[in-house]
Each structure stands twice: as structure tokens, then as C-alpha cells.
Amino acid sequence: MIIKQLSVFVENKPGRLAEITALLAEAKVDIRALSVADTNDFGILRLIVNNPDKAEETLKSHGYTVALTKVITIGIHDQPGGLAGPMKILYENGISVEYMYAFISKTVNTAYVILRVEDNEKAIEVLQKNGVTLVSEEEVYSM
Amino acid sequence: MGNYFNEKMETMSRDEMLALQSERLVDTVRRVYDHVAPYRAKMDAIGIKPEDIRSVEDLSKLPFTTKQDLRDNYPYGLFALPPADVAEIHASSGTTGKQTVVGYSKADLDVWGEIAARAIVAAGGGKDDYLHVSYGYGLFTGGLGLHYGGQKMGATVIPVSAGNTKRQIQIMQDFGSTILACTPSYALYLGETVCDMGVQDKIHLKAGIFGAEPWTEEMRREIEQRLNIKAHDIYGLSEIMGPGVSFECAEQTGMHVNEDHFIVEIIDPDTGEVLPDGSEGELVFTCITKEALPLIRYRTRDISMLSRKPCSCGRTLVKMAKPRGRSDDMLIIRGVNVFPSQVEAALLQVGGKGTAPYYQLIVDRVNNLDTLEVQVEMDSSFFSDTVRGIEEQEKKIAKQLDFILGLSAKVTLVEPKSLARSEGKAVRVIDKRKLHD
Ligand SMILES: [Zn+2]
């Protein structure tokens, strides 16, 4: 249920994202989803890839500061209100979301949302109890 | 063995010490004048003859010696002995340019052993101890200096030298090391590794002797706690002798200078004027027993101060404070003295690792006010996947800097390897104020 997200420290300088994506392509790592959080000085690139360990090794060997962060992925119906349900469940159970981002796949009518919360175990428990679809590690990496 | 290695010298009255120093100084000045051409030229240039130096009081009449003098006379130009009488050579790499070469006669090596022995005994060492030397052996004076000291005072010396941390810890367990000698940052790292390996109970260290780089009281506490030892500071520089020029006793409030071998002064680094005890300034040493390379008024560039307050250990030797930094590196920002080594100490404390990440101080002047920005290369110990997490780290570093420097600084985390290096060495300071002047 818990999947590994690659978190990379990047300064706000031109060409950084191009370099990182090129390095991953060279290492034959496929990117499933990504998001960037940035401030005036720096950014954090968050990536879901098919082979997080290899991606980590590749970027580290090129001098990047990288961490593997544990996140969860839920599947939602790709329609208005699809995300509102799970969000409400988390809120009502006192679980705050640090950040999240969505991606779609080849599966028709389904979107996926990556969630970064403080307590993964608790989030999984309440989401499952309320019938939200959680996506396994293998599923995400092999999409 | 008790508290002292050489009770007579370590507890001598001030009057007796001054008399001894005067006698030895007069002899040394005569020797360098007769045998070291560059010294003779320097003294002749200001009209000073050896007979003008009759006691310690006349010391300030003599010219200073600097690292540049050693470079100009590389390698053996300042030696006072012919090659046949030089028993050993050491060298320091030096942060800028050519290395400097230092030499020792047989008698010098004996003195070196003696002063390092005093340091080991003051740290609680005795004949039954196993002295684990993790300083590098070789041209660097750290390894052999402590080695000679251990042999002189009769401990069992384990010459492990530097590197291979797991093996170091295995040797500590198997050979029963009781006193550790290495750099403080390596001690911190060893302590961390011992804790990670969960072998604290199998290590029987009781004391450590750490020097050759700046460290802080916070680091001392950390080392003492991780290795369950008492951590003692030791000071020395190869130009004067090597480790043992001064050493810490059980009181841990400064390092006693071996005054029967070295006369210490504190001077104003800008004017060269001698400052009274208790003032902060540059440390200057004069060798008064050295045969091969007796340097006169050698400017160390280390900023420290002297105290003659009576010490609970009973030693009458003057105490010098742990050097705060190098006068070459000293910056004055909004009237506050700032050393890059203090920034390093702050980063070590926040990161909790044995080595600090690369950093750079950027000093500027905006609207007539000095500003300090500290750029720090991102390190796994500072990284977080959230913006909030990284900003918290920046705040933590800024708070520690404020605490150590007494000055607020903007902290910016930057990508690894993005700060400028010059020939592989870190460029610690960029002072943009000079551009405006
Ligand atoms: Zn003392």
C-alpha cells in the first residue's frame, strides 16, 4: 500500500529539471508522475517512477540530494467530486495532508492521487474502512 | 605517576620560571644569530645584537617570524643545525601554497616526547594505559607526536593511524584501548559509529586527547557522552614542535603552555603590539630549547587569550584559551569578530555528523549595513521532502549561528557541489564589501 516517492532537492536554476529527466531516461527509469514544490530559493521535485531505487542511485551518483519518501496512492473515479470523498474521510479522521498530486493512466475513468500524510498506517486504515481504492506498489510501478 | 609527568617544571614558581626562560632565551638568540643567516640579517636590519637580549623582558625587541619566512627559506634555510645533526623531518601542507618543512634533533625529539607525555598524564594517563593513536602517521606531526609522548610516559602505544573506522573500533575492543588520540571531528564520528554498532559496553576508553582542528564545547560534550570519556584538548603546531605545545588538565578550562620550552605572547594582529593577559589577540611562540629549528616570536595566526589565574590542578603554567579561529580568516561584520570556523561548528552541531557540509559566507553592505548570508550545501541530514521541513532546517541553522556568532545571518541551502572551490579547497568567504569601498 505504501509506495516510494523520490524527493530531489533542486535550486531554482534553469536547466535542472531537464538534466534530471535526461539522467533518468538514460538510466531507463520511467516517470509515472511528478510534482514540483518551489520557493524563491529552492524547489523539491517529487517523482513516482517504475524503479525508485535505481533512480535514487542514479541521481545520487550525479551529486543530487535525494530521499525516498513513503507515500500512499489512491484510485478515484475521474469525475467531478471524485476526490472530495477521500479528502473528507481524511479530514474527519484528523489526518492532515502535507501535499498531494494526481496523475491519470491508461485505465479508463480512473485517476490516481499521491498523498503524503504524517501517519501512513492510520490513513490506509480509515481509507480502506470507507471503501477507497488503495493502489499497491507493484501496480503503480508497472503502470 | 600521579598528577604530573614533570612536577618540578609544571608547578615551578613564576620567578623561577622567568629566570629559566630568560637563561634559555639568551642562549637561543645567540645560537640563531650565529647559525641562521636570515635571523642574523633580520636582527642586523633593526640594529639588535644578541647581547641586547638579557631576559624575557627584552623579547619584544626581537622581530617576528612568519609562515612566509619559512616559505622564503624552504626547505632548510632556518635550520640552526647542520644536516648531520638533524634526526627527523616533518612537514605541514599549509592551506596556501608550498608546504613548510620542520626539523628535529635527537634532543628535540626527546623534548617533544616530554611535552606530549605531560599532556597524556594530565588527561589521566598512566603506565597501565593503552594509548590508541588515530592521528595520521607520517609527515603530519599528530601521529608521531602522541606516539613519542606515550612512549616517554610509559603507556602502551597502539599506532593505529587514521582511517578504517570499523577496524579502529574492533582494535579498541580487542586490544583494550583506554585513551584515544585523534582529531575531535573523527572522535565524534567514531562515537557515532560505536553507538550505531551498539558496542558501547565493549569499549573501555576513559579519556581522549583531541586537537589539530577547531572544536567547540558542544562538540566536547557530544564526544564525552557518545564515548563515555573525558575529552581533553591539546594544541600544537609543527613549526613550534607539534602536539603538546599546550595541553588541558582535568579542569578543562584552557590549555597549559609548556613554558619551560616555549615563551608565549599575545599580540595585536594589526599592530604587533604585545597585549596584557586576558586580552584577545594572536598567539606568538618563541622556542627556547629547540636545537634544529628554534623559531623566534613565531606568529601562529591563531586568535586566543592567556590566563594566569591559579588552576585547581596545581600547575603554574599559563593557560591559553582554545583558539577561536585564524586571524587571516577573521571578518568583522557589524563590529563583531566572525571566523569561518565558528560557522563550521554551528553546522556540525545542527547536522550532528562528524563533518560539516561545504559552506560559504557572503558578506555584503546594503544601505551602509553589513549583511551576512551563509550558503550551505544541501546534505542528507538537512533534507526533507517538504518545503516546511527544509525551511525549518534553515531556521535551525540560523538560530545556532546567531547563538555562536552573536549575529543574525540569512541561511540558504544550495545544491551539493554548487559552491565555488579553488583547486579542490573550499572558498569560505566572499566579501563583496570590498567592491563598494
Ligand atoms: Zn590545570
State the DSSP string of B362-411.
EEEEETTEEEEEEEEE--TTT--SSHHHHHHHHHHHHHHHHHHHSS--EE
Cα–Cα distances (Å) from B300 to B44, B108, B233, B242, B317, in that order, read: 24, 20, 18, 13, 20
- Co-location of B8 and B82 in the same domain: yes
- Co-location of B25 and B125 in the same domain: yes
CA of B318 to the centre of ligand 1 (A): 9
CATH code: domain of residue B195: 3.40.50.12780
Residues A57 and B398: beta-carbon distance below 8 Å = no
Q: What pLDDT, on the 0 to 100 scale, is given for residue A104? A: 83
Nearest to B101 by CA among B293, B335, B316: B293
Q: Is the ipTM of this complex over 0.85?
A: yes
Q: What pLDDT, on the 0 to 100 scale, is given for residue B420? A: 78
Our count of domains for chain B comes to 2
Residues of B with CB under 8 A from a CB of A: 378-380, 383-388, 390-391, 412-418
Nearest to B412 among A37, A41, A98 (CB): A41
Helix (H/G/I), strand (E/B), else coil: B238: coil
Nearest to B390 among A42, A46, A63 (CB): A42
- Co-location of B217 and B86 in the same domain: yes
Nearest to A65 among B387, B412, B416 (CB): B416
Q: Is A98 on the interface with B (CB under 8 A)?
A: yes
C-alpha cell at position B431: 566579501
Q: What pLDDT, on the 0 to 100 scale, is given for residue B317? A: 98
pLDDT tens, residue order, chain B (437 aa)? 468 999 999 999 999 999 999 999 999 999 999 999 999 999 999 999 999 999 999 999 999 999 999 989 999 999 999 999 999 999 976 544 567 899 999 999 999 999 999 999 999 999 999 999 999 999 989 999 999 999 999 999 999 998 889 999 999 999 999 999 998 888 988 998 898 899 999 999 999 999 987 787 878 988 999 999 999 999 999 999 999 999 999 999 999 999 999 999 999 999 999 999 999 999 999 999 999 999 999 999 999 999 999 999 999 999 999 988 777 778 889 888 888 888 988 888 887 676 778 899 999 998 888 999 999 999 888 899 999 999 999 999 999 999 888 889 999 999 988 887 766 566 789 989 866 65
Nearest to A11 among B380, B386, B418 (CB): B418
CA of B56 to the centre of ligand 1 (A): 23
Q: Which residue has the cell 553546522?
A: B347
Subunit contact B385:A64, Cβ cutoff 8 A: no
Q: Is A94 on the interface with B (CB under 8 A)?
A: no
Query: Angle A40-A46-A49 (CA atoms, 0-180°, nearest 5)?
Result: 155
Query: Angle A120-A124-A128 (CA atoms, 0-180°, nearest 5)?
Result: 175
Helices (H), B274-386: 340-351
Which of B266, B290, B325 is the last residue before a domain boundary? B325
Rg (CA), chain A: 16
CA of B179 to the centre of ligand 1 (A): 19
- Co-location of B412 and B289 in the same domain: no
3-state percent helix, strand, coil for chain B, nearest multiple of 5: 35, 25, 40
Which of B293, B325, B357 is the last residue before a domain boundary? B325
Contacts of A98 in chain B (CB under 8 A): 386, 388
Structural domain of residue B414, as residue ranges? 331-436
- Co-location of B119 and B262 in the same domain: yes
Q: Label the pairing between strands B262-267 and B281-287.
A: antiparallel
- Co-location of B361 and B270 in the same domain: no
Rg (CA), chain B: 22
Subunit contact B415:A41, Cβ cutoff 8 A: no
Q: Where are the beta strands (DSSP E) in B93-241?
A: 100-104, 130-133, 156-158, 179-182, 207-211, 230-237
Q: How far is B415 from chain A (nearest CA, A)?
A: 6
- Co-location of B318 and B338 in the same domain: no
Cα–Cα distances (Å) from B257 to B5, B77, B95, B234, B260, in that order, read: 14, 27, 25, 10, 9
Domains of chain A by range and CATH?
2-68 (3.30.2130.10), 70-141 (3.30.2130.10)
Contacts of A65 in chain B (CB under 8 A): 378-380, 383, 415-416
- Co-location of B131 and B266 in the same domain: yes
- Co-location of B102 and B137 in the same domain: yes
Q: What pLDDT, on the 0 to 100 scale, is given for residue B95? A: 47
Q: What pLDDT, on the 0 to 100 scale, is given for residue B424? A: 59
Residues A112 and A71: beta-carbon distance below 8 Å = no
Which of B290, B325, B360 is the last residue before a domain boundary? B325
CA of B59 to the centre of ligand 1 (A): 26
- Co-location of B174 and B47 in the same domain: yes
Q: How far is B388 from chain A (nearest CA, A)?
A: 9
The overall average pLDDT reported for chain A is 91
- Co-location of B302 and B349 in the same domain: no
- Co-location of B340 and B313 in the same domain: no
CATH code: domain of residue B412: 3.30.300.30
Task: Find the mean pLDDT for residues A116-143.
Answer: 91
CA of B312 to the centre of ligand 1 (A): 6
Q: What pLDDT, on the 0 to 100 scale, is given for residue B435? A: 66
Instruction: Please determine, for residue A12, whether its predicted confidence score (pLDDT) is greater than 90.
Output: no
